Amino acid sequence: MALLEVENVHSYYGNIQALRGVSLSVEEGEVVTLIGSNGAGKTTTLRSIHGVLQPREGKVIFDGEEIQGLPAHDMIGRGIAQSPEGRKIFSRMSVLENLEMGAFHRNDRSGIREDMDRVYELFPRLKERTKQEAGTMSGGEQQMLAIGRALMSRPKLLLLDEPSMGLAPVLVERIFDIIKEINAQGTTILLVEQNANVALEIATRGYVMETGSIVTSASAEKLRKDPKVREAYLGEM
């Protein structure tokens, strides 16, 4: 059984239907990416999985249990963490306080210390800025903090929403190297990313979304070779 299974999910914003029967799966240990144009439904899919937006139809099954309908704050304890689009760090809190917020539901002090050390090893820049107010850091540093905060919950599944947004190319490369390392350390990842080139380089498999539906799914290698995908999302003719 897959770690995550999304079955025929329909989600709405008010009366506007945003997802139309989305189905996907993520096996333990994979990096799976969702690619598509703006407004295709990628972020809405993550929100529907994480309980921020409750699906009106369909199932979300995580680790063998149905979780659709549960509030977002319950997902952390079940092993799902999200680094959201736009980072959404606590800008007036320090780097350390932001990271501590990621472990708010935990009381295993030694484990929290281990995970703090892990985050600092992945992101040495954060260790240098432990006491700095998070809102005064650069965009790249804030993205590192958002991912680090999510890791502090020790998730089985990490949802990453547009981690490269607004970053310089050299920082994009660094962020994706770290994402690969996080996966190599045992964390399963579902990645939403506008930059399809870099997403497909690190992903195991991918799903292509258009207007709230999955239109194509295949291994990352096959998607990179698909002429339609290359033309529409990889900037190639």
Residues 43 and 132 in one domain: no
The CA distance from 70 to 75, in Å, is 8
Token pair recorded at residue 144: 């590192």
Reduce the secondary structure of the chain to three states and give it as a string.
Answer: CCCEEEEEEEEEECCEEEEEEEEEEECCCCEEEEECCCCCCHHHHHHHHHCCCCCCEEEEEECCEECCCCCHHHHHHHCEEEECCCCCCCCCCEHHHHHHHHCCCCCCHHHHHHHHHHHHHHCHHHHHCCCCEHHHCCHHHHHHHHHHHHHCCCCCEEEEECCCCCCCHHHHHHHHHHHHHHHHCCCEEEEECCCHHHHHHHCCEEEEEECCEEEEEEEHHHHHHCHHHHHHHCCCC
Number of separate domains in the chain: 2
Residues 109 and 68 in one domain: no
Residues 161 and 229 in one domain: yes
**pLDDT value of residue 36:** 92
Residues 138 and 166 in one domain: no
Could you tell me if residue 13 is inside a domain? Answer: yes
Could you tell me if residue 40 is inside a domain? Answer: yes
CATH of the domain at 13: 3.40.50.300
Q: Which domain holds residue 164?
A: 1-79+157-237
Domain boundary among 154, 169, 185: 154
Could you tell me if residue 208 is inside a domain? Answer: yes
pLDDT 10s digit of each residue in the chain, 237 long?
A: 799 999 999 999 999 999 999 999 999 999 999 999 888 999 999 999 999 999 999 999 999 999 998 988 889 889 999 988 766 888 899 999 999 999 888 888 888 999 999 999 999 999 999 999 998 988 888 999 999 999 999 999 999 999 988 888 888 888 899 999 999 999 999 999 888 999 999 999 999 999 999 999 999 999 999 998 998 887 764
**pLDDT value of residue 86:** 66
Residues 64 and 50 in one domain: yes
**pLDDT value of residue 77:** 87
**pLDDT value of residue 81:** 94
Could you tell me if residue 84 is inside a domain? Answer: no
Could you tell me if residue 171 is inside a domain? Answer: yes
Residues 1 and 25 in one domain: yes
**pLDDT value of residue 112:** 92
Residues 46 and 142 in one domain: no
Residues 20 and 32 in one domain: yes
Domain boundary among 138, 154, 170: 154
The CA distance from 171 to 154, in Å, is 24
Token pair recorded at residue 126: 């954060």
